[in-house]
Structure 1
Amino acid sequence: MNKDQVKGRIEEVKGKVKEVAGKITDDKNLEVKGNIQKNSGKAQAGFGDLKNDLKKGS
């Protein structure tokens, strides 16, 4: 795993926790922020996956 994959997955988990906390506390703002952070983490992890695949292909 490269650093983009690791950081992305960490951000994904942190975002999911915020999203769930927002749902539990009925805090729509926190829920939205968590969702954005989760999706941003997914994108970063995907970028890391792509970099890893390209490195393996060479």
Structure 2
Amino acid sequence: MQEARYFWRNSRSTAACYKRTADKMYVYRKYILYYSTADSLTASSFHTNKPSPKRPKLQEEM
């Protein structure tokens, strides 16, 4: 998936491990939805590599 590679081009190492497969891309979308709702941020804010200090953990949502 070239799209996934593009999305994670400027990401942190913790997020980069989710860029390979369609299944993990689904996890990424679900995480972004929860993240943006919890912290009032958009997906584009996450892509600029400026997460808030209150960044939730994936395990808590799943």
State the TM-score bracket (shorter-chain normalisation). Answer: 0.3 to 0.5
Structure 1 length as normaliser, TM-score? 0.36
**TM-score, normalization by structure 2:** 0.34
Identify which of structures 1 and 2 has the higher relative contact order when contacts are C-alpha pairs closer than 8 Å and 6+ apart. 1
Greater share of helix: 1
| Bigger Rg, structure 1 or 2 | 1
